[in-house]
Chain A
Amino acid sequence: MYTEQVMEHFTNPRNMGEIPDADGVGEVGNAKCGDIMKMFIKVDNGVITDCKFKTYGCGSAIATSSIATEMVKGRKIEDAIGLSNKAVVEALGGLPPHKIHCSVLAEQSIKAAVSDYYRRRGIDPLPIVGEIHECEGCGI
């Protein structure tokens, strides 16, 4: 049911772990629905120099988090918030229809981390990043 790319990222997740001195941390999803993604970013000169994740969830939740960290690492912060769930799905060679939800969480977790980064710098993230949808599945 999963593509080779999904299984590869699930089996060998990239950038798994925490950044203790992160400049931004975002968490989306909830335990009730069965997936939580937590993203840590390190920002230098407006560029995401490091990104790590911790995820509780199914195979595609782990794979989408893993690939999302790769897709934003080394990118300017304004590019990172443009990361769409579609791009995540494409990079993984597709996801089963009922797993698209995971790619949305990956997109939102990056946005949540960036929002936290702005907030810590006294900048209102809402006009820049937009609203974070914690869990579009159950509306929590």
Chain B
Amino acid sequence: MNIPRAKGAELSRRDFLRSGAAVATTTLAPGVTLIAFGGSAAEAGTDAGKRWGLLIDANKCDADCSACVTACSDENGWKGTGNPETDAQWIRKVTLKNTTTGRETSLPVMCQHCEEPPCVDVCPTGASFKREDGIVLVDKHTCIGCRYCMMACPFKARSFVHEPTTNQKSHAPRGQGTVESCTLCVHRVDQGGTPACVEACAATGHGAIIFGNLKDPDSDISKQLAGYSSTALRPDLDLNPGVRYTNL
């Protein structure tokens, strides 16, 4: 099904001012006017009533498994170019060791989709942005590759593409000279799906990652968060990430 294109695309500024057809104007009081534009927001995929998040159970995550990383790479088309120091990495497995007790914990770390994302604060062009539903993305059309966001991110979640790219996925364009990171598989989420890492983790039987709407109290993820203790990475920074961890 195709939704008719929103008006304004084919209107020049002059046409737009002349017609007034796309605008409903209400005069509330002398000098105060309420202007409502045509309802394209209702058709959109983003919804401010939702906030997408992940809950990762470090106890269920197998140290020898990297199915989530492989799945992300396959889904979004990022791969090594033989320069491990600079190659793009949207998601990585991290091992933490408590030096006192010797306990080792393995967990995947990706863009934490912060409510207060530092990468968005520092972006000079507005390329780094947060959607209404909480997914933090890079608009590569306006990214100039300055990499301020990479320095601002406390989780080292973003990568810069150094080499020319070929055979990108059509749903995940990526190119030399721009910054990229986990998109929470936004192309799947917009169509009602779940991120590739979550599916892959479930397929291995570990089921360490739960995806869902943090604003819906009846969602699986909200119930888990309400019932068990969880933490954000670097909680001292007060970024309120959408990705949370249990049993760290």
Q: Are A and B physically bound partners?
A: no
